[in-house]
Structure 1
């Protein structure tokens, strides 16, 4: 009888541990590179906190540019997803990052194997990253502006000297 009680206790313990997350609530903060004058890639980083009404989330995955990548755990109920894009192809505006748990990840992998679009797969939760755009420097570089000013000053100096000597 005691063995049966031990087995039932272990089973109840595993059922509680394996209970999936219901009603996920996500609070996110995002960061992007905004100065592209000395870098060649724009970094996108989203830190988010996930709270469940009941249960615990399993491993999380994110869809980024039609690719699925794992989400990093950075603390208790805190996660992070990040990637980079070339400065020439990075566009400004809101970027939707779809988050998948183990169940929805399986459906997403199945869709990818079948060659289907991931937009038909329901996500576990969504995170929005706003990229306002990156500063690529002034239209005229300071070296060019200094050269142009020196040429204009030289022209006026030579033309003034020719008028004075004439």
Structure 2
């Protein structure tokens, strides 16, 4: 009886667990938030489609950034994936950010390599270069300050002219 239950559980595990064979990453798009006046964190988003030889869908992909891994999420169709994260604006980096994308097998190999220290055999599916130009913090001098200075200069010249006419 126990062997029958174990066999059913094993069969369910194999039928539910899909892997993307010979995955090809296509249609990569990236976005970042850029306005620090409206946001307290900078958001980074990478969206891509994965073509699997075995037409697998909703399989996990992993994005690696500086040794940290982020798992992907899939849309309702299971074909479009997204990897996203956010950082506080003060710590958010700008410029090119390289994100390596791995499948389940590559992720496992990378974790194993982290323990052994041998990264020579690790191969990612795709490397995405995300460019963030930095967050817009507004003008360096506020308009109200400029208007106040301009008003002060006009007032000074007007007062000086009045004093010259009265003398």
Fold shared per TM-score above 0.5: yes
The CA deviation string for residues 101-135 of structure 1, in whole angstroms up to 9 with x for no partner, is 11111122223345x48787321322232223332
Aligned to 1:3: none
Gap change, CA 1:48 and 1:34, over 3 Å in 2:
same
Q: Is the 8 A contact 1:61 1:99 kept in 2?
A: yes
Partner residue in 1 for 2:4:
none
1:93: how far off? 3.0
Check 1:83–1:25 CA distance in 2 against 1; reply closer, same or farther (3 A cut).
Answer: closer
Q: How many positions carry a matched residue from both structures?
A: 155
RMSD: 3.0
Give me the TM-score of the superposition, normalised by structure 2: 0.75
Give the Cα–Cα distance (whole angstroms) in 2 for the partners of residues 96 and 119 of structure 1.
18
Matches within 5 A, 1:5-84: 18=18, 20-54=20-54, 56=56, 58-75=59-76, 76-84=78-86
In structure 1, how many angstroms separate the alpha carbons of the residues matched to 2:120 and 2:97?
Answer: 14
2:123 is aligned to 122
**Which structure 1 residue ranges, 5 or more long, are not aligned?**
1-6
Could you tell me which runs of 5 or more consecutive residues in structure 2 were left unpaired when the two chains were aligned: 1-6
| Deviation string, structure 1 residues 124-163 (Cα, Å, up to 9, x no partner) | 3222322233322112111211221121122112211211
List aligned pairs for 1:111-150, cutoff 5 A. 111-114=113-116, 116=117, 121-150=122-151
TM-score by length of 1: 0.75
Q: SS in structure 1 opposite 2:127?
A: strand
Shift of 1:68: 0.7
Inter-partner Cα distance in structure 1 for 2:79 and 2:27: 11
The answer (yes or no) to whether the contact 2:20–2:53 under 8 Å persists in 1 is no
Q: Secondary structure at the match of 1:159?
A: helix
Provide the secondary structure at the position in 2 that maps to 1:31.
strand
